[in-house]
Structure 1
Amino acid sequence: MCAAAGRCSGPRQRALVCAVLLAAWEAAWGQLRYSVPEEMPKGSFVGDVVKDLGLQLPALRDRGVHITERGRTQYFSLHGRTGHLLTAERIDREQLCEDVQICVLRCELVVEGEMKFYEIQVEITDINDNTPTFREAETELRMSETTAPGSRFPLARAQDPDSGRNSLQSYELSGDEHFSLAMQAGPSGDQRPELVLAKALDREEAAFHELVLRASDGGDPARTGTVRIRVTVVDANDNAPVFSQAEYTVRVPEDVPVGSTLVTVTATDADEGLNGKLKYSYQMVSLKASEMFHLDAETGAITLTHNLDFEEGTSYELEVHVRDGGDLSDIAKVVITVTDINDNAPEVSVRWALSEISEDAPSGTVVALLYVQDSDSEANGEVRCAIDKTFRSGCRALTAAITAW
């Protein structure tokens, strides 16, 4: 927080306009913390902030008590008669906190008349409002009739944006005796479903096998999503493609030009002809990442299709699937980390200011409260406040303390 003033024009105006002081507002000893489920209707009760802070509601009604938030959307409001903190909008946890385990919104209760403000943290808890879904409703696998029992084939994974027990918990396979389901731990400890050939195939006996993979979350009741798997039995393909590495990592600045190739994944297959021809595709990728990065199906090159913004996303994870002409395959993980550049200027907003001040006001009188914010991170987001040198000569009688918050 810092305070600033405009130009001085005369002795009296200097006392009225040019006083620039730090607002040394008193903050509460601790923070209020509440918890509310997502998707609650507008106007839902969050907490009794006046009671919890030990404030006197009747005395506060004429003292400029209000709620302030740093973002563009106002999610909370203060009921003037009860002092209750209420939701001002329906809150979607998955929209606000994608890939964040604990979702917390912050606001402040400002008491202008008492020169105080109190920080309030509201945790948005998850409800089971999303069903596990697969990218496609149906998929097809082609297997040679000479495929050895015990061979494994990666299957598409479901996505569930809910968290904790409400997120994806288990998979179940239904079909026939030729196949079973196994789980494989990925590089990050995530569980990946794999189709296991339990019994040798015979194309003359059955050219196709129909299976259903079901994904379930841990909600009560549980939500489920399914994908139909059609296995086509074909002739031999002896070697599966193999990526050069299990995980590719790359760091790029947020101002990298659109069209740049960020990383190229490569796989090799010892087979020749159609069985050795490789095709790359996304196995697991968020909608946002699929729109940001294009994967060349022939070369494995991943290029940027939209401008990056560190403030909107710092890291993206992609799973790339490579398949040969006989439908043997492999999977690799790609992690793209976005680094920050100093592309945001500090923003200054007036939280509170006096419209006038008496010429005999004592030294240390608070005249204004400003809020300074920079969206950049680390050193690029550190802000220093200072009084313009051209204003100092007319304000020497007053002491100015400037602090960035």
Structure 2
Amino acid sequence: MPKGSLVGDVAKDLGLELPALRRRDLSIIDRGRTQYFALHGKTRHLVTAQRIDREQLCESVQQCVLRCELIVEGEMQVYGIEGEITDINGNAPSLRGAEIDLRLSETTAPGWRFPLARAHDPDVGRNSLQSYELSGDEHFSLAVQAGPGGDQRPELVLAKALDREEAAFHELVLRASDGGEPARTGTVRARVAVLDASDNAPVFSQVEYTVTATDADEGLNGHVKYSFHKISERSSEIFQLDAETGAISLVRSLDFEEGESYEVEMGAQDGGGLSDTAKVAIAVTDVNDNAPELTVSSALSAISEDAPSGTVVALLHVQDRDSGANGEVRCSMAERLPFRLEKPFEDYYRVVTARELDREEVAENNVTVRAADGGSPALWSSAVLALRVLDVNDNAPVFAEARYSARLPENNAAGALVLTVRAADADWGQNARVRYRLSEGRVRGAPLSSYVSVRAETGALYALRSFDYEEVREVWLWVRAEDGGAPALSSNVSVRLVIVDENDNAPQVLYPPAAAAPGAGWAGVELAPRSAEPGALVAKVVAVDADAGQNAWLSYELAKATEPGLFRVGLHSGEVRTARFPLARDAARQSLVVVVKDHGRPALSATATLTVVLAESVAELLAELGSAAAAPGEPAGSLTRWLVVAVAAVSCLFLAFLLLLLALRLRRWRWRRSQLLAAGSGALRGVPASHFVGIDGVRAFLHSYSHEVSLTADSRKSQLRLSGGSCCDTLPARPPAEASGGLVPKGEVAETCGQVSFQVR
């Protein structure tokens, strides 16, 4: 059949749908070395890939079957196909050699038989050899004997006695015919040489001669020669025969895989023309000289890492041309791999996944499959499958740190880089592409996004505004890392942004108040007795710093004093204490300038001014204040004048209130007296007369109070603070709660029964 001839309808025979076959990758694998079958491109029919010679493939085999496999690569499925090669009469019978040379003695008796070379026809059945014919001479005939296997063995039979002197040679033609239509024949010529025998006595033609005598006989009757009577063309290429010794030797090496056994027929003939034949059977013993052939019929180059267990990865075909144990092949592969071997069809193995794959663990697998035969020693071969694992988005981004913390100096520039967060994704490609964004949040009521931002591609965190440590000391936020998978996976990390204080705030003096600066009145007036001992507390400078850490660590030092050495200031406490006993020569009014410094770099400072008056009593203090008021250029003069005016005004108001109260009491007393007298009551008879005082003939209660007056002067207001005492043997003029000490409201006057004492605090 010519190349491309139809062999079979694969879709119909296997029950497959043609559209499905067209969409799949199909391939034909022949078990031999030559490709004899193929699939038609459009119809997917099985066709011949080339002309097939049955006699070449299946010599001396009655049923010639070629086997191949159809592989559906997409499904890694194998279907076995067997094709029987039917014989045609493509070969004529062939007789070995161009001629047959025989040597017979003329004394050979009729009926003698000589086996002739048998014809060879590789065809089978009726197309093989069917009959022999002999022609050419009446002295010979042909006899055909049936062999043990049913084969025909031609023999040359001597039908009539030979006479060399009549004919020295005889020419014969042997014809072999097969049963084909038309029949094909093969011929060979046989030449029989008649050997002389001593069957004639010498005869003299006359009585006396001078003659030379000759003998008609020739050769040695006992010399034997050997030859092949029947041998196939393939055997003739392998074996050769020594005609003299009969030794059969090899022309080339034997190959068990080419032929397991050979059979030849050889003959032996002596010099007298007598011969015999014998059949020689040569069995070839197999040795393990062929390694297994392992071929990859179909294989995947890539597989998804979420492929289920049992997914077919590759289809392998293995064969060994040896036989027996030498041809038994087993396949194996290394352990600890996520694959296993299955044998679905005869000499085929499938590599399937034994469990789910993990691309992050092994991205590329080089799976080595080893095929070894059962010989001793065993021969083996291997095939390597390169399998790439495709990524699936099964890993969320992972930050390099469990949490992030950064320190940002306050007063930073807008847009300053704070820190960079890093997240890695174990996946690949788009699934590993990480983008960053901020989670929602608020800082001091404002959106977090107005304070910081993060670059989506790099994870760099930037400050969008300048931070003030005194307003915001730390910011907590969350950064989310999200990959590019579908669906996307994400993870969060906390970021603590600590604002670092800078020395951008100078110390603030709380006492004495900053408003009482030079030129605006006294900064503060403190009283120090001239009898004060060294170390006595005079005043305390109180200051704070809005910064933190060492920027808020304050130290105090006396920068300027009217009398150096008289006072000292605590370095860290700010307490002003006497450093020695005050002397008579020391000025009564001392001006102190205290410098408050922080420990920042550079350091910031503030000053506080105190006025300390050396006096033993309030009178001396007032005198000093008065003299200070009279002295031009003294900053405390104005304050002293206002203090004197305030004391006078309060005293006047107090006296006016007292007079008004007495008048109201007197009026009420008169009304009650008239009521009592009218009723004849004697309710006041038990009251001693000494407790009454007469004013214009009217008696009234005598009230006596003792008060402590405190004067406090600062830059904003002056206050008169009165502490109520007990009445001396009198009845209270008001309930105790009303007579309790406190700040005297404007317009009220307190009664006293003694002196008014002042203490400057």
Q: What TM-score results when the alignment is normalised by the length of structure 1?
A: 0.76
Gaps of 5+ in 2: 199-218, 348-761
The alignment partner of 1:288 has SS state of helix
Where does structure 1 differ by over 6 angstroms across 4 or more consecutive aligned residues? none
Answer yes or no: is 1:50 the counterpart of 2:14. no
Q: Structure 1 residue 359: deviation in Å?
A: 1.7
Equivalent in 115, 124, 138 of residue 154 of structure 1 = 115
2:265 aligned with 1:319, yes or no? yes
Asked if 1:120 corresponds to 2:120, the answer is no
Matched, 1:186 2:147: yes
* Partners of 2:226 and 2:191 in 1: CA distance: 20
Is the Cα–Cα contact under 8 Å of residues 76 and 315 in structure 2 kept in the other structure? no
SS in 1 for 2:263: strand
**Per-residue CA shift, 1:112-149, capped at 9, x if unaligned?**
23442211111111111111122223223222222111
Q: Aligned pair 1:278/2:188, yes or no?
A: no
Instruction: Assess if the C-alpha contact under 8 Å between 2:73 and 2:299 holds in 1.
Output: no
CA contact (8 A) 2:294 2:317 kept: yes
Whole-Å separation in 2 of the counterparts to 1:49 and 1:236: 74
Aligned to 2:60: 99
C-alpha distance in 1 between matches for 2:286 and 2:118: 32
- Asked if residue 382 in structure 1 is aligned to residue 328 in structure 2, the reply is yes
Please give the per-residue CA displacement for 1:170-200, whole angstroms capped at 9, x wherever unaligned. 0011123322110123354421111111222
- Cα distance in 2 for partners of 1:399, 1:291 equals 49
Q: Residue 144 of structure 1 aligns with which residue? A: 105
Letter matched to residue 263 of structure 2 = E
2:96 and 2:231 in contact (8 A); partners too = no
Partners of 2:309 and 2:66 in 1: CA distance: 37
Q: CA deviation at 1:75?
A: 0.7
Contact residue 316 and residue 337 of structure 1 kept, 8 A: yes
Q: 1:343 aligns with which of 277, 281, 289?
A: 289
1:202-242 per-position Cα deviation (integer Å, ceiling 9, x unaligned): 333333322221110000111111122222222359xxxxx
CA distance in 2, matches of 1:375, 1:281: 34
Contact 1:42–1:87 (Cα < 8 Å) also in 2: yes
Q: Secondary structure at the match of 1:357?
A: strand
Alpha-carbon distance, 1:402 to partner: 4.2
- In the alignment, the residues of structure 2 paired with residue 221 and residue 124 of structure 1 have an alpha-carbon distance, to the nearest angstrom, of 21
Given that 1:147 and 1:236 are in contact with CA atoms closer than 8 Å, whether structure 2 keeps it comes out as no
Distance 1:114 1:361, change over 3 A: closer
Of 177, 181, 187, 1:226 maps to 187
Cα displacement string for residues 311-330 of structure 1 (whole angstroms, at most 9, x for unaligned residues): 11111111111111122211
Aligned pairs, number: 325
Q: How does 1:4-403 map to 2 (within 5 A)?
A: 40-236=1-197, 274-389=220-335, 392=336, 395=337, 398=338, 400-403=340-343
Inter-partner Cα distance in structure 2 for 1:232 and 1:347:
57
Q: Are 1:296 and 1:302, in contact at CA under 8 Å, matched by a contact in 2? A: yes
Cα distance change on mapping 1:229 and 1:297 into 2, 3 Å: closer
RMSD: 1.9
The structure with higher relative contact order (CA 8 Å, sep 6+) is 1
Question: C-alpha offsets along residues 235-279 of structure 1, whole Å, 9 cap, x if unaligned?
Answer: 359xxxxxxxxxxxxxxxxxxxxxxxxxxxxxxxxxxx7111111
Shift, 1:201, TM fit: 2.1
Alpha-carbon shift at residue 386 of structure 1 (Å): 1.6
Contact 2:37 2:47 in 1 (8 A): yes
Greater Rg over alpha carbons, structure: 2
Matched AA of 1:369? L
Counterpart in the other structure of 1:259 = none
Closer, same or farther: CA 318–180 of 1 in aligned 2, 3 Å:
same
Corresponding letter in the other structure for 1:278:
V
Rate the CA distance shift 1:387–1:288 in 2: closer, same or farther, 3 A: same
Deviation at 1:399? 5.8
* Overall identity of the aligned pairs, in %: 73
- Give the match's secondary structure for 1:400: strand
Q: 1:114 to 1:343 in 2, by over 3 A?
A: same
Q: Are the equivalent residues in 2 in contact too, given 1:135–1:158 (CA < 8 A)?
A: yes
Letter of the 2:11 counterpart: V
Deviation at 1:92, TM superposition (A): 1.0
